[in-house]
Structure 1
Amino acid sequence: MNEAQRACRPLAITMGDACGIGPEIVARLWLDQAIHSALVVGSPEVMRRAMDCVAAARGCAAPPQVVALERAEDWLALPAGAMPVWAPPGLPADLLAAPLGQIDERAGRAAAVCIRAAVRLAQAGVVAGMVTAPLHKESLALAGESYPGHTELLQAEGAPAGQPPAPVRMMLANDQLKTVLVTIHVSLRQAIEGVTYDAVLETLRITHRSARLWGQPAPRIAVAGLNPHAGEGGLFGDEELRIIGPAIEAARAEGIQASGPHAPDTVFMRARHAPPAHPGEFDVVVAMYHDQGLIPVKYMGLDQGVNVTLGLPFVRTSPDHGTAFDLAGTGRADPSSLLEAWRMARQLVDAYAAVLPDDSSAS
């Protein structure tokens, strides 16, 4: 694929849970003319409803046209400003009947269908990467999906045919802080059990490789401890001595600039990069479990946080919030985080292309 062909590929945006705010925040991006070169993977009927809802809430008499595509590749033929929507095979025929603001099996099934279809488009090179609007994990479970969220489903679907899924990690990032998780969507008890030598070392390797692709060949990686005060020399737990510390040493032996384990109650403040007053000591923090790593980023504001899946063979980002059922159907949901996810996906696609001349998008 030459440079011109690469540059014109769109990003796929999945509509998310049809009963949540996903379709509406996607519609806002078109209504505000905030993005270009993007293709919506979802239900044209749901997206028309969302566009009408958002347009009414904002007093827009002539919202952008929502156009159903027979083939994803047909998006280029649309007039400027129109929203191209490709409905993948397998969407529930009665999706509009699923009530807004409620958990529904049909919405969960549709969300999974759209994710799988977007992965296929990315693998085929039709799209440059994918941005996923929020889904609801309970709706996903009702649809019979065994995956607890986007990350695990993408890991399974992103593996090349005949190959086992590659290890992936979840990163949440904004302009001031990046955090990567060792464990993701499991109970806290399971997360503690999941903090193993291999898991920590693999997380450091994935973080290091990914940072190289986004332009940091030698990232300063801080590793948070699991226990208060990083165990205080074994007084409050010995995982830092038995597991985390040895994994850090092994990573350093491989040339990875990792340090720690650091006290988890201060390492995120130290890593926060807000120059000139507060230049960060680290480029990214590896956290042991979901809330340890995500609370600091989300506390800075949900409007700028972006979820990035590291380790996939293509770019994938998403907003850092959920389906917000209480706002569904009002047209008032804030699309800022989705817009940041789109911008970061485009930046990552461009950055990866600069260091991967073979046109691979592996992250």
Structure 2
Amino acid sequence: MQTIDSAMPILVTMGCPSGVGPEIALRAVLQARQKGLDCRIVGDRGTLAAAASRLDLDVDRIVGHRTHDDNSNLPIPILEPVAPLHADERKPGRPSMAGGAAQLTWIDFATDWVLARKAAALVTGPVSKEVIATSGAPGADSFKGHTEHIARRIGQGTPVMVFVADSFAVSLVTTHLPLRDVSSCLTIESISHATRQTVVLLARLGCQPARVLICALNPHAGEGGMLGDEEMNVIEPAVQDAKAWVKQQGFEAIVDGPCPAESAFRIAMGGRYDGVVAMYHDQGTIPMKLRYFGHAVNVTAGLPIIRTSVDHGTAYDIAGQGKADAGSLWEAIHLADRLSQGRSKSHD
């Protein structure tokens, strides 16, 4: 596991320049820096200056105007790895191909900085998968989301998407794939791995023991095979595998399941568990967003770097209007700092 120098900065990628990313990045990073956290934005200064103006912030004082401004004198240091975007390439609510390519470059640049130990953690703003994938940038056509892309760029580790709020976590065994493909993509190893990573994350967040409940895939957990056999053939063996790993590793943890999804979240969110492992994307994100939307954080577990993100999208419909809530991005920065501080003390 990579050790972290606590003096290193946290990098925040701006997200889509035509979405709400620029305005929430300004608000959240200003808040973080006022609290003493060294946060820096990776993005486009012109976009941020325009957002600052719309938010009635002092543009010269906050972000400056030129790419050669001395960052050290600014409340928000900005890293610009690509040429400045033209005004028509960053219009609120109107994403462009250039903006899509820039989003991908910002992610790659920030990821490489964290890998090179120039930064402690990566916090990503909301992007458009479609805009990136159709931007024409090298490798963009395979972009399915931050989680998969960053893991592919790093080339090591198996990522697990986890949503965290108030020390409660929901992890996803599968992420961005059609619902019809979920069953065939579930394996004993993938379910056990997601469960193990959930236990590790919850332990790092102070849950002792870490109590994790694994969801079933089928209605009523398959009714003994009448409504599907994934529970008997895949999920139950995965639960046993995860339990054996927990015992072997000496973790204080409780692992139960499979439990019908309609009951799992009610039981877990009622206080009996600290986390739930969901079999597919919407099984986990719907209850999480109903309960914690705007305050949840997307964490990529299972990688050698720390990466967190917001729990929402680009919100093109309100971009540029100053209405976007920066709460989720602030929580993502706060959790990234919390995790990096924990890792800076780790020697394993």
- TM-score, length-normalised on structure 2? 0.88
Which residue identity does 1:261 align to in structure 2?
P
Which residue identity does 2:258 align to in structure 1?
P
Q: What is the deviation of 1:26?
A: 0.8
Give, in whole Å, the separation in 2 of the partners of 1:258 and 1:105. Answer: 46
Query: Kindly tell me: are residues 21 and 93 of structure 1, through their superposed partners in 2, closer, same or farther at Cα, counting changes over 3 Å?
Result: closer
**2:205 counterpart residue number:** 214
Match of 1:138 among 123, 130, 134: 130
**1:268 counterpart residue number:** 265
Give, in whole Å, the separation in 2 of the partners of 1:48 and 1:96. Answer: 15
**1:85 counterpart residue number:** 78
Q: What is the deviation of 1:245?
A: 0.4
**2:250 counterpart residue number:** none
Give, in whole Å, the separation in 2 of the partners of 1:248 and 1:29. Answer: 39
Query: Kindly tell me: are residues 95 and 223 of structure 1, through their superposed partners in 2, closer, same or farther at Cα, counting changes over 3 Å?
Result: farther
Give, in whole Å, the separation in 1 of the partners of 2:183 and 2:84. Answer: 39
* Contact 1:64–1:83 under 8 Å retained in 2: no
**2:25 counterpart residue number:** 26
Which residue identity does 2:267 align to in structure 1?
R
Which residue identity does 1:7 align to in structure 2?
S
* Contact 1:51–1:63 under 8 Å retained in 2: no
Give, in whole Å, the separation in 1 of the partners of 2:94 and 2:204. Answer: 39
* Contact 2:16–2:95 under 8 Å retained in 1: no
Q: Is residue 117 of structure 2 the alignment partner of residue 128 of structure 1?
A: no
**1:182 counterpart residue number:** 173
Q: What is the deviation of 1:91?
A: 4.5
Q: How does 1:204-353 map to 2 (within 5 A)?
A: 204-216=195-207, 218-255=209-246, 257-272=254-269, 278=270, 280-353=271-344
**For structure 1, which segment, 19-28 or 170-179, has the greater mean C-alpha deviation from structure 2 after superposition?**
170-179
Q: What is the deviation of 1:98?
A: 3.7
Query: Kindly tell me: are residues 31 and 350 of structure 1, through their superposed partners in 2, closer, same or farther at Cα, counting changes over 3 Å?
Result: closer
| Partner secondary structure for residue 317 of structure 1 | strand
- Unmatched runs of 5 consecutive residues or more in structure 1: 160-164, 273-277, 359-363
Which residue identity does 2:264 align to in structure 1?
V
Which residue identity does 1:258 align to in structure 2?
V
1:270-305 CA distances to partner (integer Å, 9 max, x unpaired)?
A: 111xxxxx5x21121100000000111100142211
Q: What is the deviation of 1:92?
A: 6.3
Give, in whole Å, the separation in 1 of the partners of 2:87 and 2:232. Answer: 52
Q: What is the deviation of 1:78?
A: 3.0
Q: Is residue 166 of structure 2 the alignment partner of residue 171 of structure 1?
A: no
Q: Is residue 92 of structure 2 the alignment partner of residue 100 of structure 1?
A: yes
1:299-329 CA distances to partner (integer Å, 9 max, x unpaired)?
A: 0142211100001211111110000001111
Match of 1:147 among 131, 143, 146: 143
Q: How well do the aligned residues superpose, as a CA RMSD in angstroms?
A: 2.4
Which residue identity does 2:320 align to in structure 1?
G
| Partner secondary structure for residue 220 of structure 1 | strand
Q: What is the deviation of 1:66?
A: 0.5
**2:153 counterpart residue number:** 157
Q: What is the deviation of 1:34?
A: 5.3
Query: Kindly tell me: are residues 255 and 229 of structure 1, through their superposed partners in 2, closer, same or farther at Cα, counting changes over 3 Å?
Result: same
Which residue identity does 1:283 align to in structure 2?
D
**1:44 counterpart residue number:** 45
Q: What is the deviation of 1:192?
A: 2.3
The structure with the greater share of residues assigned to helix is 2
Give, in whole Å, the separation in 1 of the partners of 2:119 and 2:88. Answer: 27
Q: What is the deviation of 1:218?
A: 4.4
How many aligned residue pairs are there?
333
* Contact 1:220–1:282 under 8 Å retained in 2: yes
Give, in whole Å, the separation in 2 of the partners of 1:166 and 1:118. Answer: 18
Give, in whole Å, the separation in 1 of the partners of 2:17 and 2:85. Answer: 13
1:41-67 CA distances to partner (integer Å, 9 max, x unpaired)?
A: 111111111111122xxxx56774214
Query: Kindly tell me: are residues 78 and 98 of structure 1, through their superposed partners in 2, closer, same or farther at Cα, counting changes over 3 Å?
Result: closer
**1:116 counterpart residue number:** 108
Give, in whole Å, the separation in 1 of the partners of 2:88 and 2:243. Answer: 53
* Contact 1:23–1:46 under 8 Å retained in 2: yes
Give, in whole Å, the separation in 1 of the partners of 2:290 and 2:48. Answer: 31
* Contact 1:214–1:351 under 8 Å retained in 2: no
**2:251 counterpart residue number:** none
1:21-41 CA distances to partner (integer Å, 9 max, x unpaired)?
A: 001111123555655310111
| Partner secondary structure for residue 226 of structure 1 | coil
Which residue identity does 1:106 align to in structure 2?
A
Give, in whole Å, the separation in 1 of the partners of 2:235 and 2:83. Answer: 44
| Partner secondary structure for residue 185 of structure 1 | coil
Query: Kindly tell me: are residues 268 and 53 of structure 1, through their superposed partners in 2, closer, same or farther at Cα, counting changes over 3 Å?
Result: same
